[in-house]
Amino acid sequence: MNLLKKKRHPMANTAPPVDSSPCLPAGYDDERSSQYVPEQLRPYWPSQSAQADAWATLHAPAHASELDHDTQLTRAVHDLATWCVLRDRHATNVGALEIHKRVNRAWNNPEQRPSWIDVKQRAGTLREQDKLDYLHQEYLSSATRRLRQAERGAQARAAAEARTTCTVCGQRDTRTSRRIVDHATGILVPGTGVYPQMCQPCAQVATAIIIERARAERINGTTRAELVADFLARHDGTR
Task: Identify which of 202, 131, 132, 120 has the alpha carbon closest to the alpha carbon of residue 165.
Answer: 202
Instruction: Kindly report the average pLDDT of the chain as a whole number.
Output: 81
pLDDT score of 166:
84
pLDDT score of 14:
33
The more confident residue out of 166 and 120 is: 120
CB 71 within 8 A of CB 64: no
Q: Using CA atoms, how far apart are residues 215 and 223, in angstroms rounded to an integer?
A: 6
Question: Where are the chain's structural domains?
Answer: 39-162, 167-235
What are the start-end ranges of the E strands in the chain? Answer: 177-181, 188-190, 197-198, 218-219, 222-223
By percentage, how much of the chain surpasses pLDDT 70? 80
Question: Per-residue pLDDT averaged across 196-216, rounded?
Answer: 82
**Single-letter amino acid code for the residue at 19:** D
Spatial neighbors of 138 by CB under 8 A, at least 6 apart, are 54
Helices vs strands, H then E, count in the chain: 7, 5
pLDDT score of 179:
64
